[in-house]
């Protein structure tokens, strides 16, 4: 077992874990932060995307022990109280989700995208989503959601 | 009056979804998010060979592991789990939830582990070893039909599940007598015949949430609760109850938040039965969560059908007759709807055309692969693909505009209801209107000129067009063995808030929003005073489920009827309060009042409160405001449309790029155009995916070659252009809403139009058909003079 | 998918990492970003008993320029390489290559050293490092050594890196006139074929058009490991610096490689043909970076 201490959504969380515990399982099963999802096991789908020290990462491809001492932001930590993050608003306004399963990872990925490039072109948005799969939307409303956040956020 | 603002009409508006606030904040609850005190975890050991007899299963290492509660072989499971049932009226081989003696596909469960956590369960499942006597793998469908290289099931000679089942012109309804006269005449009269073998290949449905099940049997109550990532919890309830000798009153099935289904989550799977059975046997709650790598093997695939099409026509492009011989690769077993999927292909063989003579046959073949079952469109995209590709070939052969060939064969608006050669009764349609709008939006003549210009410059640019019509709003019960109705209950609570249930269990379709919109209008109350419940058989008392684009057309209609009943009763209470006639009342802006005199009315809340404390009780009324309705449609609905694609192929690499996709869809009346657009976008992406990048592949030894997202591609954002949508509106007469359903539409026309565009781009190399998917290497070979 | 269990140790310095690695007796595996290793472990294709995490060793991170050489620390993530203004200005090919790896999340975590140590035959970096004639810096119990990229990639998942060594950095002379071109495998986004070309140009004059003095061309995805396309390098030398001449020089590229990969995404024949196509594109892409 290994001791990890990770600041998750601003709160320091410490726990004993097996070294093989994936960060996504640490978040979901030990911290009950079930908003971060698992959609594949080979790092393609991006449903598990969180921010580690401000950068998007696939939490299914990181051991919790690797994130020891880091700051992790999950979908649950994105809104400020009642105030939704502009991307959450964008996804809602533009119907950027259907089943909602890819959505938390998709939104966290888009946070990274807009941090790097606040006014992306449509092509840049589409390429910025290379690490996230959605099976419901055909992506068009997701692109609209990011544009919404970029222009009205 | 101050509390009664003017409420806008909701139906037909682009209302943003009520489901979203929880989902965009990570607050939805999917199956894997559930925890129950004392819950343990299930993992399956699965076959790593395609075909073989089990000689022995060694579970000793697994059983000895710390944290392992129990390990079960197939034989042990068979003691309390009966064979997996199906629902189609076709013969079916014995299908055990966990293999007892012979494995028939890679991924088939061979043993089950129960452990205290999922990591240990996985370790233990990995530690189980199976000794097999290898049998030859049956992979090639057409070779399998000769019984080679092996027979999968003892009672199914030549691996045939269904053999040459005929339908269409000259075939008696029972299929027993076949008269070829009309068909033979059509081909004798033909001035031109096109014939082609086409493969509509296997796909992995790939909902982003893999499957998962939590079962909690409570011995003290003799009750089972099962949560499953499932599209039809009421069917699941019945299946579990029947499997374990329980009553439907003793089983509660819950489809919580479901992360996509696409047809592959309609049925109760082997894993559902095993997890429930083990929970009952062990008396503890159990969870199983499917890995993506398991999903590629253990969740049913879609499509997987070969079509031999022959079209007889005149030189002016009038189709005289058509033959379509179908050979379906159904995999190792029949599952719930498997055997029936190709019957939807034959049912839709008439497509949008007035074809006077059609003959189809269906042959279904067992192979050592994952079973196939419903996948978005389920049989209708296959029909559309075969017929539309065939008409495209006809147009090319006659050097006619592909739009013109279609136009010359359309069923005309005045022919509806139209009984097809296949026995379908099309409800309504105006196919030329959809075609014209699509051509206009595409700038068809300009598009053709651009294509010609690009080709003159040496660029490989092509355009493709496809019409489609699909059978949706599945019901009535005569055509759906599950029952073809849907159910709803609408309750006006004492405080005037509305609780409503639907048996149409959504997984992304947004029923909480669309159904709320309908009730908001029906009762003249704010949308946020309404809650739509679904997915829990203890709350939604009855239901069939969400598949076959039936939520709105059948489920919505049931809701409308239940709402109408309550409204009628509420009007009687209001009439008593207002000393008015119930027929003179209007429900609007949160009030019930005499038409034309809003100030005279009572608030909705006041009337609701009165209905629950009715002093005095109006004569002939019972207290309370809760009514339910079953809606059974008189017929299916037949939505239609036209899709157009522009594609460019890289001459050096063969890589295709989809430049434009223009879609005109007619789903009848729309409740929420924003949600409808989303449904169409998603369907288009899946249809394009099939044409361009998705294909389940097996090696000659039956090993799956595409069992992770490393090898099986589904479209990414950058793979798709911005879709250009539009719609026509032809309401259906078969339900009170005039809505036809739209969940599957996008997958219908997109696939053939993209392939036709690729053929158009490469026709200069002499090619008239290309089998999907449009693998760059395949296109490169055509460009370089090889065969497709 | 869940990996087998292992012991985890975090190394504080390179020396500490080497000590821990030695102590593991050959069963230890170094992890930095983990984006090659963790997926393999989840599929249980790799089951190391000890993981030694070097991600926090600061001295292994960063992009520096010194004495005309650029050094990229092994722990530098792909995103930092892709967006480095130093690299984009002075050696765009390496930034370009990094930006074509995986997807944004992978680029945020995956490291240069991890990619090289793993040596996936379809990885992108190796082609670029071959074209740049990069030197790979290694450190082991007996000190440091430097291996030329040409010698480093030896076979399928096999590199010149001992069990008790770690990669510390990569060093190369920046090249302006160089480019990477790649045929994406559409599911994984790895390279079916990737070609990196770096050109040394004889500047033209009023009377003479510029020509290619020499070149280095690295190929990935096509064979068991990344390798140089020496026959094309020879064919390019002395040619006019024109797109047509580049296409001409790329004729037959890869024709002499005998262990071309074949899989469900591309046959041997197609891959071989694509070597020529992407060699042409890389050469032409490099020329397009010729200062006006």
Nearest chain B alpha carbon to A74: B26
Do A24 and A57 lie in one domain? The reply is: yes
Nearest chain B alpha carbon to A100: B23
Show residues of chain B in contact with C266, CB under 8 Å. 777
Do A146 and A96 lie in one domain? The reply is: yes
Strands A71-73 and A2-8 come out as: parallel
Show residues of chain C in contact with A66, CB under 8 Å. 31, 34, 53, 55
pLDDT, position B599: 86
CA-based angle B44:B46:B49, to the nearest 5? 180
Show residues of chain A in contact with B507, CB under 8 Å. 99
pLDDT digits (tens, 9 = 90+) for B545-591: 999 899 999 999 999 999 999 999 999 999 999 999 999 999 999 99
Distance from CA of C123 to the nearest CA of A (A): 15
Q: Which residues form the domain of C27?
A: 7-53
Distance CA B448, CA B459 (A): 14
**Average pLDDT of chain B?**
96
Show residues of chain C in contact with B697, CB under 8 Å. 264
Mean of the pLDDT values across residues C127-150? 97
Distance CA A133, CA A46 (A): 7
State the count of interchain CB pairs (< 8 A) between A and B: 186
DSSP secondary structure letter of residue C292: -
Show residues of chain A in contact with B683, CB under 8 Å. 138
Do A66 and A111 lie in one domain? The reply is: no
Could you tell me if C187 lies within 8 Å of chain B, comparing CB atoms?
yes
Do A11 and A69 lie in one domain? The reply is: yes
Q: In chain C, which residues touch A (CB < 8 A)? A: 1-8, 10, 31, 34-35, 38-39, 41-43, 51, 53, 55-56, 79, 83, 102-106, 108-109, 187-189
Do C266 and C190 lie in one domain? The reply is: yes
Do C261 and C189 lie in one domain? The reply is: yes
Res B126 pLDDT > 50: yes
pLDDT, position C1: 79
Nearest chain A alpha carbon to B678: A137
Do C134 and C73 lie in one domain? The reply is: yes
Do A39 and A90 lie in one domain? The reply is: no
Structure token digits, residue B281:
């046997």
Residue C187 to residue B777, Cβ atoms within 8 A: no
Cross-chain CB nearest to A45 (options B208, B684, B685)? B208
Show residues of chain C in contact with A116, CB under 8 Å. 83
DSSP three-state, residue A74:
coil
Do C139 and C205 lie in one domain? The reply is: no
Centre a 10 Å sphere on the Cβ of residue B657 and count the other Cβ atoms it contains: 13
Give the DSSP per-residue string, B11-77.
Answer: TTS-PPPSSHHHHTTT---BGGG---TT-EEEEEEE-SSSSEEEEEEE-HHHHTSTTEEEEEEHHHH
Cross-chain CB nearest to C108 (options A22, A57, A63)? A57
According to the CATH classification, is domain B34-135+208-260+265-298 in 3.30.70.2750?
A: no
Could you tell me if B712 lies within 8 Å of chain C, comparing CB atoms?
yes
pLDDT, position B1: 39
Q: Which helix (H) or strand (E) holds B370?
A: none
pLDDT, position B787: 52
pLDDT digits (tens, 9 = 90+) for B65-76: 999 999 999 999
Do C48 and C64 lie in one domain? The reply is: no
Which percentage of chain B shows pLDDT scores above 70?
A: 99
Show residues of chain A in contact with B119, CB under 8 Å. 18, 20-21
Could you tell me if C1 lies within 8 Å of chain B, comparing CB atoms?
yes
Could you tell me if C264 lies within 8 Å of chain B, comparing CB atoms?
yes
Strand-pair partners of B591 = B588, B603
Is residue A96 one of the residues assigned to a domain? yes
Q: Where are the domains of chain B?
A: 20-27+476-631, 34-135+208-260+265-298, 302-472+636-783
Is residue C121 one of the residues assigned to a domain? yes
Distance CA C253, CA A4 (A): 52
Could you tell me if B7 lies within 8 Å of chain C, comparing CB atoms?
no
Q: Which residues form the domain of A103?
A: 86-152
Residue A130 to residue B292, Cβ atoms within 8 A: no
Which percentage of chain B shows pLDDT scores above 90?
A: 95
**Residue to substitute from B780, B782, B786, interface C, most C β-carbons within 10 A:** B780
pLDDT digits (tens, 9 = 90+) for A12-55: 999 999 999 999 999 999 999 999 999 999 999 999 999 999 99
Task: Count structural domains, chain A.
Answer: 2
Residue A74 to residue B717, Cβ atoms within 8 A: no
pLDDT digits (tens, 9 = 90+) for A70-93: 999 999 999 999 999 999 999 999
Cross-chain CB nearest to A109 (options C5, C79, C104)? C104
Mean of the pLDDT values across residues C287-292? 89
Identify which of B234, B226, B224, B236 has the alpha carbon closest to the alpha carbon of residue B269: B236
Which of C117, C152, C172 is the C-terminal boundary of a domain? C172
Residue A42 to residue B33, Cβ atoms within 8 A: no
Confidence class of residue B5 from pLDDT cuts 50, 70 and 90? low
DSSP secondary structure letter of residue B430: -
Q: What ipTM does this complex have? A: 0.98
pLDDT digits (tens, 9 = 90+) for C170-225: 999 999 999 999 999 999 999 999 999 999 999 888 888 899 999 999 999 999 99
Is residue A81 one of the residues assigned to a domain? no
Q: Which chains touch C (3 or more CB pairs under 8 A)?
A: A, B
Distance CA C201, CA C236 (A): 11
Show residues of chain C in contact with A62, CB under 8 Å. 34, 38, 109
pLDDT, position B600: 86
CATH code of residue C227 = 3.30.390.50
Do C206 and C281 lie in one domain? The reply is: yes
Could you tell me if B655 lies within 8 Å of chain C, comparing CB atoms?
yes
Is residue A135 one of the residues assigned to a domain? yes
Do A113 and A62 lie in one domain? The reply is: no
Phi, psi angle pair for C135, to nearest 5°:
-105, 130
Select B302-472+636-783's CATH number: 3.30.365.10, 3.60.10.10, 1.10.1370.10, 3.30.310.50.
Answer: 3.30.365.10
Do C64 and C168 lie in one domain? The reply is: yes
pLDDT digits (tens, 9 = 90+) for B653-705: 999 999 999 999 999 999 999 999 999 999 999 999 999 999 999 999 999 99
Res B2 pLDDT > 50: no
Residue A131 to residue C102, Cβ atoms within 8 A: yes
Do A50 and A99 lie in one domain? The reply is: no
Is residue A95 one of the residues assigned to a domain? yes
Mean of the pLDDT values across residues B415-442? 98
Residue C2 to residue B123, Cβ atoms within 8 A: yes
Predicted model pTM: 0.97
Residue A56 to residue C38, Cβ atoms within 8 A: no
pLDDT digits (tens, 9 = 90+) for B699-723: 999 999 999 999 999 999 999 999 9
Res C69 pLDDT > 90: yes
Asked, as a colleague might, if the bond just before B616 is cis with ω within 30 of 0, I would say yes
Could you tell me if A2 lies within 8 Å of chain B, comparing CB atoms?
no
pLDDT, position B788: 46
Do C150 and C65 lie in one domain? The reply is: yes
Task: Count structural domains, chain C.
Answer: 3
Do A71 and A8 lie in one domain? The reply is: yes
For the stretch B140-151, what's the b/e string if a residue is b when 16 or more beta carbons lie within 10 angstroms of its beta carbon? bbeebbeeebeb
Is residue A52 one of the residues assigned to a domain? yes
Q: In chain A, which residues touch C (CB < 8 A)? A: 2, 18-20, 22, 41-44, 46, 49, 52, 55-58, 60-63, 65-66, 68-69, 109, 112-113, 116, 128, 130-132
Q: Which helix (H) or strand (E) holds B101?
A: none
Do A71 and A109 lie in one domain? The reply is: no
pLDDT digits (tens, 9 = 90+) for C234-260: 999 999 999 999 999 999 999 989 899
Do A66 and A28 lie in one domain? The reply is: yes
Do A8 and A49 lie in one domain? The reply is: yes
Cross-chain CB nearest to A19 (options C6, C35, C106)? C6
Could you tell me if C277 lies within 8 Å of chain B, comparing CB atoms?
yes
Give the DSSP per-residue string, B243-255.
Answer: HTT--TTSEEEE-
Is residue A10 one of the residues assigned to a domain? yes
Distance CA A98, CA A84 (A): 18
pLDDT, position C209: 87
Confidence class of residue B174 from pLDDT cuts 50, 70 and 90? confident
Strands C28-31 and B640-649 come out as: unpaired
Select B20-27+476-631's CATH number: 3.30.365.10, 3.40.1160.10, 3.30.470.20, 3.30.470.10.
Answer: 3.30.365.10
Is residue C129 one of the residues assigned to a domain? yes
Nearest chain B alpha carbon to A88: B24
Distance CA B196, CA B324 (A): 10
CATH code of residue A93 = 1.10.150.120
Contact assessment for residue B111 and residue B44, using Cβ atoms and an 8 Å cutoff: yes
Is residue A123 one of the residues assigned to a domain? yes
Is residue C202 one of the residues assigned to a domain? yes
Show residues of chain B in contact with A132, CB under 8 Å. 716-717
**Residue to substitute from A9, A99, A121, interface B, most B β-carbons within 10 A:** A99
pLDDT, position B8: 86
Residue A136 to residue B260, Cβ atoms within 8 A: yes
Which of A27, A54, A76 is the C-terminal boundary of a domain? A76
Nearest chain B alpha carbon to A99: B508
Distance from CA of B655 to the nearest CA of A (A): 18
Residue A47 to residue B208, Cβ atoms within 8 A: yes
Residue B259 to residue A75, Cβ atoms within 8 A: no
Is residue C2 one of the residues assigned to a domain? no
Which of A76, A94, A110 is the C-terminal boundary of a domain? A76
Which of A44, A76, A108 is the C-terminal boundary of a domain? A76
Give the DSSP per-residue string, A83-119.
Answer: B--HHHHHHHHTT--SS-SSHHHHHHHHHHHHHH-SS
Residue A134 to residue B27, Cβ atoms within 8 A: no
Hey, do B20-27+476-631 and B302-472+636-783 end up sharing a CATH topology, with the first three levels equal? yes
Could you tell me if B652 lies within 8 Å of chain C, comparing CB atoms?
yes
Residue C2 to residue A22, Cβ atoms within 8 A: yes
pLDDT, position B4: 55
């Amino acid at each position: 077992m290994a001791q990890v201490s990770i600041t998750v959504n601003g709160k320091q969380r410490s726990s004993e874990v097996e070294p093989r515990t994936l960060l996504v399982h640490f978040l979901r099963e030990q911290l009950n932060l079930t908003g971060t999802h698992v959609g594949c096991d080979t790092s393609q789908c991006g449903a598990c995307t969180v921010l580690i020290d401000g950068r998007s990462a696939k939490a299914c491809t990181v051991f919790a022990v690797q994130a020891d001492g880091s700051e992790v932001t999950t979908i649950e930590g994105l809104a400020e109280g009642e105030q939704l993050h502009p991307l959450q608003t964008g996804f809602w306004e533009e119907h950027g989700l259907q089943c909602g399963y890819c959505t938390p990872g998709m939104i966290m990925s888009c946070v990274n995208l807009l941090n790097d490039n606040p006014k992306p072109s449509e092509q840049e948005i589409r390429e910025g989503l290379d690490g996230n799969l959605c099976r419901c939307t055909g992506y068009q409303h997701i692109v609209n959601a990011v544009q919404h956040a970029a222009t009205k956020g | 009056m101050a509390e009664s603002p003017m409420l806008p009409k909701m139906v037909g508006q682009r209302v943003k979804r009520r489901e979203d606030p929880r989902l965009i904040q990570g607050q939805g609850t999917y199956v894997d998010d559930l925890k129950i005190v004392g819950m343990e975890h299930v993992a399956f050991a699965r076959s790593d060979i395609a075909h073989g007899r089990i000689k022995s299963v060694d579970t000793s290492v697994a059983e000895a592991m710390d944290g392992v509660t129990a390990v079960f072989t197939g034989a042990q499971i068979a003691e309390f789990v009966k064979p997996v049932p199906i629902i189609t009226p076709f013969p079916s081989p014995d299908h055990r939830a966990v293999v007892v003696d012979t494995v028939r596909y890679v991924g088939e469960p061979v043993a089950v582990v129960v452990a205290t956590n999922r990591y240990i369960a996985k370790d233990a499942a990995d530690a189980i070893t199976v000794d097999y006597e290898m049998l030859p793998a049956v992979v090639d469908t057409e070779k399998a039909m000769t019984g080679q290289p092996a027979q999968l099931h003892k009672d199914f000679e030549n691996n045939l599940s269904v053999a040459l089942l005929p339908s269409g012109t000259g075939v008696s309804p029972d299929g027993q007598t076949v008269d070829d006269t009309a068909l033979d005449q059509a081909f004798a009269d033909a001035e031109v015949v096109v014939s082609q073998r086409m493969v509509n290949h296997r796909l992995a449905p790939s909902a982003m949430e893999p499957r998962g099940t939590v079962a909690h049997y409570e011995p003290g109550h003799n009750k089972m609760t099962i949560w499953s990532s499932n599209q039809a919890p009421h069917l699941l309830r019945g299946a579990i109850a029947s499997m374990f000798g329980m009553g439907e009153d003793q089983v509660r099935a819950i489809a919580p938040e479901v992360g996509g289904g696409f047809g592959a989550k309609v049925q109760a799977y082997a894993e559902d039965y095993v997890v429930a059975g083990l929970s009952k046997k062990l008396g503890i709650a159990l969870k199983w969560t499917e890995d993506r790598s398991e999903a590629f093997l253990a969740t049913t695939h879609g499509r997987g059908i070969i079509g031999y099409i022959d079209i007889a026509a005149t030189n002016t492009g009038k189709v005289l007759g058509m033959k379509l011989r179908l050979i379906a690769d159904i995999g190792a077993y029949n599952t719930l709807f498997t055997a029936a999927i190709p019957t939807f292909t034959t049912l839709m063989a008439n497509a949008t055309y007035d074809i006077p003579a059609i003959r189809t046959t269906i042959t279904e073949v067992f192979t050592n692969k994952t079973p196939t079952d419903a996948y978005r469109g389920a049989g209708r995209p296959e029909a559309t693909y075969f017929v539309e590709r065939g008409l495209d070939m006809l147009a090319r052969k006659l050097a006619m505009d592909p739009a013109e060939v279609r136009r010359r064969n359309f069923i005309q608006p005045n022919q509806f209801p139209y009984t097809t050669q296949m026995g379908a009764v099309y409800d309504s349609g105006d196919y030329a209107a959809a075609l014209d709008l699509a051509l206009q939006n595409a700038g068809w003549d300009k598009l053709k000129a651009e294509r010609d210009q690009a080709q003159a410059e040496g660029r490989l640019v092509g355009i493709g067009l496809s019409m489609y019509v699909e059978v949706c709003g599945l019901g009535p019960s005569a055509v759906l063995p599950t029952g073809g109705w849907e159910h709803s209950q609408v309750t006006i609570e004492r405080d005037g808030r509305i609780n409503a249930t639907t048996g149409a269990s959504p997984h992304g379709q947004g029923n909480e929003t669309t159904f709320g919109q309908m009730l908001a209008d029906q009762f003249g109350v704010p949308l946020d005073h309404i809650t739509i419940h679904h997915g829990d058989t203890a709350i939604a008392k009855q239901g069939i489920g969400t598949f076959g684009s039936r939520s709105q057309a059948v489920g919505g209609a049931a809701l409308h009827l239940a709402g109408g009943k309550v409204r009628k009763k509420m009007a009687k209470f209001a009439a008593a309060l207002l000393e008015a006639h119930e027929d003179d009342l209007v429900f609007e802006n949160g009030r019930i009042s005499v038409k034309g005199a809003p100030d005279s009315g009572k608030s909705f809340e006041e009337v609701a409160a009165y209905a629950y404390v009715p002093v005095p009780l109006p004569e002939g009324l019972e207290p309370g405001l809760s009514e339910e309705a079953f809606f059974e449609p008189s017929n299916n609905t037949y939505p239609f449309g036209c899709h157009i694609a522009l594609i460019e192929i890289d001459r050096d690499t063969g890589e295709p790029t989809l430049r434009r996709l223009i879609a005109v869809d007619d789903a009848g009346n729309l409740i929420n155009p924003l949600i409808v657009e989303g449904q169409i976008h998603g369907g288009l992406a899946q249809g394009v995916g099939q044409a361009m990048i998705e294909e389940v592949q097996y090696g000659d030894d039956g090993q799956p070659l595409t069992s992770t997202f490393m090898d099986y591609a589904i479209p990414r954002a950058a793979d798709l252009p911005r879709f250009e949508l539009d719609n026509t509106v032809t309401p259906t007469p078969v339900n009170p809403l005039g809505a036809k359903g739209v969940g599957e539409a996008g997958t219908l026309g997109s696939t053939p139009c993209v392939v036709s565009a690729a053929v158009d781009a490469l026709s200069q190399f002499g090619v008239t058909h290309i089998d999907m998917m449009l693998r760059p290497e395949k296109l490169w070979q055509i460009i370089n003079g090889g065969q497709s | 998918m869940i990996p087998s269990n292992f012991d985890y140790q975090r190394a504080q310095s390179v020396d500490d990492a080497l000590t821990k690695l030695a102590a593991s007796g050959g069963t230890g595996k170094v992890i930095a970003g983990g984006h090659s290793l963790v997926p393999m472990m989840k599929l249980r294709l790799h089951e190391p008993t000890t993981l030694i995490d070097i991600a926090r060793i600061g001295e292994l991170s960063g992009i520096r320029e010194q004495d005309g050489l650029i050094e990229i620390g092994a722990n530098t993530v792909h995103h930092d390489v892709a967006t480095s203004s130093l690299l984009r200005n002075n050696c765009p090919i390496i930034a370009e290559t990094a930006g074509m790896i995986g997807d944004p999340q992978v680029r945020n975590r995956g490291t240069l050293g991890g990619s090289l140590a793993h040596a996936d035959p379809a990885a992108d970096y190796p082609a670029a490092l071959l074209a740049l004639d990069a030197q790979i810096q290694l450190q082991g119990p007996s000190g440091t050594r430097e291996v030329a990229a040409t010698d480093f990639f030896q076979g399928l998942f096999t590199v010149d890196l001992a069990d008790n060594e770690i990669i510390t950095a990569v060093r190369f002379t920046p090249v302006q006139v160089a480019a990477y071109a790649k045929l994406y495998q559409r599911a994984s986004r790895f390279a079916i074929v990737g070609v990196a070309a770096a050109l040394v140009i004889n500047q033209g004059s009023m009377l003479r058009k510029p020509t290619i003095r020499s070149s280095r061309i690295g190929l990935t995805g096509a064979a068991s490991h990344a390798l140089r396309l020496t026959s094309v390098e020879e064919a390019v030398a002395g040619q006019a610096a024109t797109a047509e001449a580049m296409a001409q020089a790329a004729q037959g590229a890869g024709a002499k490689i005998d262990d071309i990969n074949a899989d469900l995404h591309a046959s041997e024949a197609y891959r071989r043909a694509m070597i020529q196509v992407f060699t042409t594109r890389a050469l032409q892409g490099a020329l397009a970076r010729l200062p006006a």
